């Protein structure tokens, strides 16, 4: 007799049940999705129709007025039609304190203190796009609460030289990393009905001479290195505003640049938002009118308070523009295109009746700031497991260095913040390590910063030094908390650093401290790489960035081991300045000769240079240690051959083999060793951050479209795929692969 197989019957029944349940759910979700798409489309059409309607009612004068500032950070509305003003604010890391109507002074409000989020280098170092979204949405909520319609950030200029005073405001040296991190930030901000304004478009890679330097760079480097993050911001992030830059590119100012704005941004990428100048970066009415600028801000700094006539009427896109329109020199259609974009921005922001109300200084925002800060800190060295320090132990720790107590949310230029809370490193440590005795000595003093300038130090350098050495000699451990600060010629807008060294005598001080105590851990607060002549002698090094409101708590999270470090460097630390690509080509390449500069290294920026030239960096891009260990195995691709439209899926197993929970960033770099064209040995093409408990293992996948292997072919002015064999390096830093996979790619 045939026996009935109950298990098979049961599994068949289960499958049928699943189909019956899942199918209608699937159909319903598909239907809901397409209904949503249709309603979005309908809404967009209605908005476009309203824009045309409003345009028809505006006078020439009213339209021109909408294209330029009425104050430092606002543009006028049209009261008779109920069109509101547009209000903007810096910047990438928090909503800036309220600025006076007509000059750069602070308005002195008591209700404009905000949450300071960590600087963008720290965000980039998390390698965590989901966290970037949380950052953007929290920041957008604060901007909304402060009644801002446009937030002037994020910044995605590529880290080309460690001297650039504004690197801390950007997302590192790699175009793929910056693209992956900028898109969720923008979506997060904009979901609040606040426009992000991605900046500074383009090639603003140094502060020195930023107002006039004329950059020459190959088309290939432009498309492969300097534009991708902007492109992602537009095409994937749907950013609503873009800020032009101060500098020139191939002889033309970037804020009204025919090729960059008309051809690429608004043409190739179909950007439908507003191009805003950087503050004072417009130079010519005709060019501003014709070469894509929509809104002029910040021209001149003397506004109404120092002139008798309305200074704003003299802007390039004000009366001189009106004259040209009236005389027919510039057709009205040019103006209408600008106003259409401005109205579109308004329908997305201050004329969107559905936007929320925002929130500010709430616990969730502080939590996001703390998480970004602790996830972004990068452990560079940990000899003999110097870190973490045991919070249950009684010990005497000499905390030496000005940055242990200095405010780092102030200074730096336009990204300066008025933080409601700023927990200093020393304060954070004292709270988390109640059993330890913390002695603190400045050790050195940079002097106070008076908007951008370092004033002479108020203390005698030698007495500070003596005090620090005495303290270090009697402590169990020394924590040197130094680095750069936000003053002029440090990490600060408007100027570059003068060299790669730590300033204010810190190197000498450190070497003297090491003579009296060997147990030294260094915490570097900076947004830039520095030279480290003491690297072999200290026990531990932590790159702790400018970490915002929760800086001290986040530092204590890492140093106590409450949070296992998982940050990875978003840029290379070279040993010396000339080992950096831009600097290795001399003055013509940085800072330029007179006003001319050529990016002679082309596409070989950052680790692309170090890897290709085989110059060992001090610390490589993508590198960062952990308190636990990870093992990556079973690394494979889903196929060996791929066509140009395929996606390569790399799967691997990762195991936390240590005793602490932690996260690792698995990174995939692509190379083509037999390439017929000049190529970097490795280029980052994918990464994934994975959280694992001790002993836990996971299998994971990283998907990379073959189209991302293309290079920019200058002969055809387009992207091209080179067929043949490619290597994929799967590892945890630009110079370290667990496994190398070989695949073949064809053009079909
Ligand atoms: C900076 C911009 C900033 C603007 C307004 C300029 O100096 O370059 O990034 O958004 O000022 O403060």
Quick check: 9 pLDDT over 60?
no
What is the C-alpha separation between 302 and 30, in angstroms, rounded? Answer: 56
Q: Whose CA is nearest to atom 2 of ligand 1?
A: 278
Ligand 1: centre distance to CA 127 (Å): 26
Q: Is the CB of 152 under 6 A from ligand 1?
A: yes
Q: Whose CA is nearest to atom 5 of ligand 1?
A: 279
- pTM, two decimals, is 0.95
Ligand 1: centre distance to CA 216 (Å): 23
Distance of CA 500 to the CA centre of its chain: 21
Q: Which atom of ligand 1 is nearest to the CA of 200?
A: 9
Query: Among 69, 74, 89, 91, which is best to mutate for testing ligand 1, by the most ligand atoms less than 8 A from CB?
Result: 91
Strands 596-598 and 540-543: unpaired
Quick check: 723 pLDDT over 70?
yes
Q: Is the CB of 414 under 6 A from ligand 1?
A: yes
Q: Is the CB of 207 under 6 A from ligand 1?
A: no
Query: Among 278, 295, 299, 494, which is best to mutate for testing ligand 1, by the most ligand atoms less than 8 A from CB?
Result: 278
Strands 195-201 and 86-90: unpaired
What is the C-alpha separation between 662 and 126, in angstroms, rounded? Answer: 13
Catalytic (active-site) positions: 278
Quick check: 310 pLDDT over 90?
no
Q: Can you read off the two tokens belonging to residue 287?
A: 């060019």
Q: Whose CA is nearest to atom 11 of ligand 1?
A: 279
Q: Which atom of ligand 1 is nearest to the CA of 152?
A: 10
pLDDT score at 447: 81
How many residues are given for the chain?
748
What is the C-alpha separation between 564 and 185, in angstroms, rounded? Answer: 24
Ligand 1: centre distance to CA 161 (Å): 20
Query: Among 152, 206, 303, which is best to mutate for testing ligand 1, by the most ligand atoms less than 8 A from CB?
Result: 152
Average pLDDT, the chain: 95
pLDDT in tens, 437-463: 999 999 999 987 765 567 778 888 999
Strand ranges for 675-723 from DSSP E: 683-692, 697-705, 711-713, 718-720
Q: Whose CA is nearest to atom 3 of ligand 1?
A: 414
What is the C-alpha separation between 702 and 689, in angstroms, rounded? Answer: 10
pLDDT score at 2: 43
Burial of 68 (0-12, 13-18, 19+ CB in 10 A): buried
Ligand 1: centre distance to CA 211 (Å): 12
pLDDT in tens, 594-637: 999 999 999 999 999 999 999 999 999 999 999 999 999 999 99
Q: Is the CB of 255 under 6 A from ligand 1?
A: no
Ligand 1: centre distance to CA 624 (Å): 32
With CA atoms as reference, report the closest residue to 205 among 236, 183, 178, 232.
178
Query: Where residue 1 falls among pLDDT bands split at 50, 70, 90?
Result: very low
Overall average pLDDT of the 292-315 stretch: 81
pLDDT in tens, 502-546: 999 999 999 999 999 999 999 999 999 999 999 999 999 999 999
Q: Which domains does the chain have, with CATH numbers?
A: 58-90+126-348 (3.20.20.300), 365-583+609-613 (3.40.50.1700), 630-745 (2.60.40.10)
Strands 540-543 and 378-382: antiparallel
Ligand 1: centre distance to CA 723 (Å): 44
Quick check: 174 pLDDT over 50?
yes
Query: Among 213, 413, 415, which is best to mutate for testing ligand 1, by the most ligand atoms less than 8 A from CB?
Result: 413
pLDDT in tens, 263-283: 999 999 999 999 999 999 999
pLDDT in tens, 127-154: 999 999 999 999 999 999 999 999 999 9
pLDDT in tens, 563-589: 999 999 999 999 999 999 999 999 999
Quick check: 302 pLDDT over 90?
no
What is the C-alpha separation between 493 and 486, in angstroms, rounded? Answer: 9
Q: Is the CB of 667 under 6 A from ligand 1?
A: no
Ligand 1: centre distance to CA 279 (Å): 6
Q: Is the CB of 279 under 6 A from ligand 1?
A: yes
- Least confident range from 177-191, 239-253, 297-311, 658-672: namely 297-311
With CA atoms as reference, report the closest residue to 203 among 240, 257, 280.
257
Sheet holding 378-382, edge to edge: 378-382, 540-543, 520-525, 477-483, 396-400, 437-441
Quick check: 301 pLDDT over 90?
no
Q: Is the CB of 90 under 6 A from ligand 1?
A: yes
Q: Can you read off the two tokens belonging to residue 455?
A: 């004033």
Ligand 1: centre distance to CA 249 (Å): 19
What is the C-alpha separation between 639 and 636, in angstroms, rounded? Answer: 8
Helix, strand, coil percentages for the chain (3-state, nearest 5): 35, 20, 45
Contacts of 207 (CB under 8 A, 6+ apart): 164, 165, 166, 492, 493, 494, 495, 496
Burial of 564 (0-12, 13-18, 19+ CB in 10 A): buried
Q: Is the CB of 619 under 6 A from ligand 1?
A: no
One-character DSSP codes across 607-655? HHHHHHHT---SB-TT--B-SS-EEEEEEEES-SEE-TT-EEEEEEEEE
pLDDT in tens, 61-103: 999 999 999 999 999 999 999 999 999 999 899 999 999 998 8
């Amino acid at each position: 007799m045939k026996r009935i197989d109950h298990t098979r019957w049961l599994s068949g029944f289960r499958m049928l049940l699943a189909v019956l349940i899942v199918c209608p759910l699937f159909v319903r979700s598909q239907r809901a999705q397409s209904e949503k798409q249709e309603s979005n489309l309908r809404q967009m059409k209605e908005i476009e129709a309203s824009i045309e309607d409003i345009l028809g009612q505006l006078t020439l004068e009213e339209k021109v007025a909408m294209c330029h500032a009425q104050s430092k950070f606002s543009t006028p509305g049209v009261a008779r039609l109920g069109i509101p003003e547009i209000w903007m604010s810096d910047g990438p890391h928090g909503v800036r304190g309220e600025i006076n109507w007509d000059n750069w002074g602070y308005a002195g409000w008591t209700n404009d203190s905000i949450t300071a989020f960590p600087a963008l280098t720290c965000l980039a170092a998390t390698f965590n796009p989901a966290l970037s979204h949380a950052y953007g949405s929290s920041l957008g909520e604060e901007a909304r609460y402060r009644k801002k319609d446009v937030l002037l950030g994020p910044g995605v200029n590529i880290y080309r030289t460690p001297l650039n005073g504004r690197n801390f405001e950007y997302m590192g040296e790699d175009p793929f990393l910056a693209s992956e991190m900028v898109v969720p930030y923008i979506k997060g901000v904009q979901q609040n009905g606040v426009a992000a304004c991605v900046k500074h478009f383009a090639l603003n890679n140094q502060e020195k001479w930023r107002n006039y330097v004329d950059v020459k760079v190959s088309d290939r480097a432009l498309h492969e290195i300097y534009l991708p993050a902007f492109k992602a911001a537009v095409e994937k992030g749907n950013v609503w505003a873009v800020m032009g830059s101060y500098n020139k590119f191939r002889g033309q100012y970037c804020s009204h640049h025919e090729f960059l704005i008309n051809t690429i941004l608004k043409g190739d990428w179909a950007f439908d938002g507003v191009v805003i100048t950087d503050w004072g970066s417009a130079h010519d009415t005709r060019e501003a009118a014709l070469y894509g600028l929509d809104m002029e801000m910040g021209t001149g700094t003397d506004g109404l308070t120092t002139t008798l006539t309305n200074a704003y009427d003299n802007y390039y896109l004000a009366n001189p523009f009106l004259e040209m329109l009236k005389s027919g020199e510039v057709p009205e259609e040019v103006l209408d295109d600008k106003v259409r974009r401005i109205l579109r921005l308004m329908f997305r922001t201050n004329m969107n009746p559905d936007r929320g109300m925002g929130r500010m200084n709430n616990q969730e925002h502080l939590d996001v700031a703390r998480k970004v800060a602790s996830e972004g800190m990068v452990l560079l060295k940990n000899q003999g497991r110097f870190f973490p320090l045991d919070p249950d132990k009684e010990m005497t720790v000499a905390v030496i260095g000005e940055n242990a107590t200095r405010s780092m949310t102030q200074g730096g230029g336009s990204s300066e913040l008025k933080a409601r809370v700023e927990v200093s490193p020393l304060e954070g440590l004292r709270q988390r390590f109640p059993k330890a005795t913390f002695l603190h000595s400045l050790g050195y003093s940079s002097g106070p910063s008076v908007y951008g300038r370092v004033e002479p130090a108020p203390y005698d350098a030698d007495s500070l030094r003596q005090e620090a050495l005495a303290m270090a000699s009697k402590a169990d451990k020394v924590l040197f908390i130094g680095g750069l600060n936000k003053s002029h010629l440090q990490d600060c807008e408007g100027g570059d650093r003068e060299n790669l060294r730590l300033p204010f005598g810190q190197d000498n001080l450190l070497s003297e401290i090491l003579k009296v105590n060997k147990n030294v851990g260094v915490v570097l607060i900076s947004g830039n790489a520095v030279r480290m002549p003491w690297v072999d002698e200290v026990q531990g090094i932590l790159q702790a960035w400018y970490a915002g409101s929760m800086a001290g708590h986040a530092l204590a999270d890492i140093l106590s081991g409450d949070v296992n470090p998982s940050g990875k460097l978003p840029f290379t630390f070279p040993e010396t300045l000339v080992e950096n690509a831009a600097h290795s080509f001399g003055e013509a390449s940085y800072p330029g000769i007179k006003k001319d500069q050529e990016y002679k290294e082309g596409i070989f920026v950052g680790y692309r240079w170090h890897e290709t030239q085989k110059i060992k960096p001090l610390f490589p891009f993508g590198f960062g240690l952990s308190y636990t260990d990870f093992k990556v195995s079973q690394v494979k691709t889903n196929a060996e051959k791929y066509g140009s439209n395929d996606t390569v899926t790399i799967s691997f197993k990762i195991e936390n083999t240590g005793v602490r929970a932690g996260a690792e960033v698995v990174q995939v770099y692509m190379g083509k060793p037999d390439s017929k064209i000049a190529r970097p040995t490795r280029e980052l093409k994918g990464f994934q951050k994975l959280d694992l408990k001790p002993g836990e293992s996971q299998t994971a996948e990283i998907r990379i479209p073959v189209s991302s292997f293309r290079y920019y072919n200058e002969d055809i002015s387009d992207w091209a795929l080179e067929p043949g064999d490619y290597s994929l390096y799967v590892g945890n830093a630009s110079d370290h692969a667990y496994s190398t996979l070989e695949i073949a790619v064809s053009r079909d």
